[in-house]
Amino acid sequence: MTDAIHPAGEGIPADPSAPDPQGRGRGPSTSVLQREDVDAAKRGRTPSTSVDHRGLAIATQTAAALVGELGESAAWAVFRDEVTVTVAPASLTAAATFLRDDQGFALLSDISPCDRDGSEREHPARFNVDYMVTKLVAGAPRVRLRVWVAEGEQLPSLIPVYPTADWHEREAFDFFGIEFTGREGLRRLIMPDDWVGHPLRKDYPIGGEPVKFTNSVREL
Q: Are 156 and 134 in contact (CB under 8 A)?
A: no
Question: In this structure, what DSSP letter does residue 58 have?
Answer: H
pLDDT of 58 over the 90 cut: yes
Q: Find the angle CA(138)-CA(143)-CA(147) to the nearest 5 degrees.
A: 165
pLDDT bin (cut points 50, 70, 90) of residue 57 is: very high
Q: How far is Cα 114 from Cα 121, in angstroms, rounded to an integer?
A: 14
Over residues 99-122, the pLDDT tens digits come to: 999 999 999 999 999 999 999 999
Where do the domains of the chain lie? 53-154
What pTM was estimated for this model as a whole?
0.72
* Whole-Å CA distances, 53 to 21, 50, 107, 213: 42, 9, 20, 47
Residue 77: other Cβ atoms inside 10 A: 13
Greater model confidence, 205 or 105: 105
Q: How many CA atoms lie within 13 A of 180 on its CB side?
A: 28
Q: Is the pLDDT of residue 44 over 90?
A: no
DSSP string for 109-177: EEEEEEE-TT-SS--SSSEEEEEEEE--STT--EEEEEEEE-TT--EE--TTT-TTHHHHHHHHHHHH-
Return the pLDDT at 31. 45
What CATH code is assigned to 53-154? 3.30.460.80
Average pLDDT, the chain: 83
**Is the per-residue pLDDT at 23 higher than 80?**
no
Helix, coil or strand: residue 212: coil
